Structure 1
Amino acid sequence: MADDGGLAKFQRRLQAMRLAASGSVAPALLQGANEIAAFQRAAAQSSRKTGALIDNIKVTGPGQATPSHSQPGGQMVVPENMAVVTAGNSGVRYAHLVEYGTCPRMQGQGTQADVHPGTAAQPFFWPGFRLGRSKALKHIKRAIDKGREGGEMNIDLEVQKAIRARLTTWAVGVPAAQILDTSQPPAKLPAIILGDSQAVDEETSLRRAHTRVYHTLHVCVKSHRLKAPRPSRAPSAPQSMPPA
Structure 2
Amino acid sequence: MSIGKEFSVARSRAKVKRRLKAIVEAARPAITKEMASAASEVVTLMRRLVPVASGTLRDSIDWTYGNPPATRATGAFRPKGEVGDSRSVVSIYAGDDDAFYARFVEFGTQGGPAGKKVRDASGRKRKLRRTHPGTDAQPFFFPAWRAKRPEIKKRIRKAQRKAVKKAMESGK
TM-score by length of structure 2 reads 0.74
Deviations 1:211-236 (A, max 9, x none): xxxxxxxxxxxxxxxxxxxxxxxxxx
Q: Which residue of 2 aligns with 1:49?
A: 53
Q: Secondary structure at the match of 1:115?
A: coil
Q: Which residue of 2 aligns with 1:82?
A: 89
User: How do residues 33-182 of structure 1 correspond to structure 2 at under 5 angstroms?
Assistant: 33-44=39-50, 47-62=51-66, 65-68=68-71, 69=73, 70-73=76-79, 77=83, 79-105=86-112, 113-152=129-168
Distance 1:66 1:118 in 2: 30
Q: Which residue of 2 aligns with 1:239?
A: none
Deviations 1:156-212 (A, max 9, x none): xxxxxxxxxxxxxxxxxxxxxxxxxxxxxxxxxxxxxxxxxxxxxxxxxxxxxxxxx
Q: Which residue of 1 aligns with 2:17?
A: 11
Q: Secondary structure at the match of 1:41?
A: helix
Deviation at 1:137, TM superposition (A): 1.6
TM-score by length of structure 1 reads 0.54
Distance 2:36 2:99 in 1: 23
Aligned residues: 149
Higher relative helix content: 2
Runs of 4+ in 1 over 6 A off after TM superposition: none
Q: Which residue of 1 aligns with 2:121?
A: none
Q: Secondary structure at the match of 2:110?
A: coil
Q: Which residue of 2 aligns with 1:29?
A: 35
Distance 1:29 1:51 in 2: 26
Unmatched 5+ stretches in structure 1 = 108-112, 155-244
Distance 1:150 1:128 in 2: 32
What is the CA RMSD across the aligned residues, in angstroms? Answer: 2.8
Distance 2:69 2:153 in 1: 22
Higher relative strand content: 1
Deviations 1:129-152 (A, max 9, x none): 111112222221121122112211
Distance 1:28 1:42 in 2: 21
The one of the two structures with greater contact order (alpha-carbon pairs below 8 A, sep at least 6) is 2
User: How do residues 193-232 of structure 1 correspond to structure 2 at under 5 angstroms?
Assistant: none
Whether the aligned pair in 2 keeps the contact of 1:104 and 1:116 (CA below 8 Å) is yes
Q: Secondary structure at the match of 1:48?
A: coil
